[in-house]
Structure 1
Amino acid sequence: MAGLTLIVTLLFSLVAMASAYSGDMTYNPFNGGLGACGKPINNGDATVAVAPKFFTASNPNNDPVCGKTVTIHYNGKTATAQVWDRCQGCGDNDLDATPTLFTNLVGSTDPGRVSITWDGI
């Protein structure tokens, strides 16, 4: 019984490590430009930019947030993406997505901005 309690405690600890955030998601045509992490971002990539608060290294190319996978939830749909950029104009919990990622999750780029929840950092 003690072993089961330990396993359950560890599982709850792991779940608590990945925070859930509520914010807005917008899209940006990156067009192959370099993100803050130093990697080119193409419009077809499943890539997001996160708020500056998530960048902690003095050199953003070496930041631990670079390459992290996030899971985005919108209107009953879910998508995953990697963090490869910093969004200077984003609110603390907002994401800026590539047009393809935005369209795959939302259906089109017409809304421009939608409310989402996301986790993974």
Structure 2
Amino acid sequence: MKTSSFPTFSFLALLCTTTVLSSPSYRDSVRRDPGPHPPFPFKTLNRTAGPPPEDTELHTGDITWFNVSLGACGWMNDGYAQDVVALSYKLMGNQSWGNPYCGRTITVSYKGKYIQPMVVDKCADCEDPDNIDLSVQAFSELADLGVGRDKATWWFNN
């Protein structure tokens, strides 16, 4: 009569998996929370905004859109519901989580429309420090997504 070692193997595999997953060194190395959540509100469309104050540094560059999720600032984002932005890596530098730009808002002016997205990510493809990547929600408030890329002016609010 032939005996199977499959039940014994299954039990040992389960025992080893349970032991490894419950060990303190494994539990401590797994980060369940992706980090702090950004301040609210996200959606800050300001249709009555005017030109920036005189002493404000203006940036003029390309605006594009992207699908947002876990950004360089360490926050989970929903780019279909939130006005968020990724700044150029040349502006943000090497630091990601804890970057001083994270959580700041900017005003984007495009063909008479204004939005105020929050910085939550770094744009790795933005070679010009004045180029920004907007969430789908933010870009669609300024233009049709089919536009894809256009010039806009933006500045920091805080």
The gaps in structure 2 that reach 5 residues or longer are 1-52
Q: Determine which structure has the larger strand proportion and give its number.
A: 1
Cα-Cα RMSD: 1.6
Q: How far apart, CA to CA, are the structure 1 residues paired with 2:70 and 2:85? A: 13
Structure 1 runs of 4+ aligned residues shifted over 4 Å read none
Q: Which residue of 1 aligns with 2:100?
A: 64
Structure with more contact order per residue of length (Cα contacts < 8 Å, sep ≥ 6): 1
- What's the % identity of the aligned pairs? 29
Flag the 1:15–1:62 CA change in 2: closer, same or farther, 3 A.
farther
**Structure 1 residue 68: deviation in Å?**
0.5
Q: Which residue of 2 aligns with 1:35?
A: 71
Q: How far apart, CA to CA, are the structure 2 residues paired with 1:55 and 1:115? A: 20
TM-score by length of 1: 0.78
Say whether 1:104 aligns with 2:135. no
Q: Which residue of 2 aligns with 1:19?
A: 57
CA offset digits 1:56-98 (Å, max 9, x no partner): 4x54111110000100000011110100000010121011011
TM-score by length of 2: 0.61
Give the greater-gyration-radius structure (CA).
2
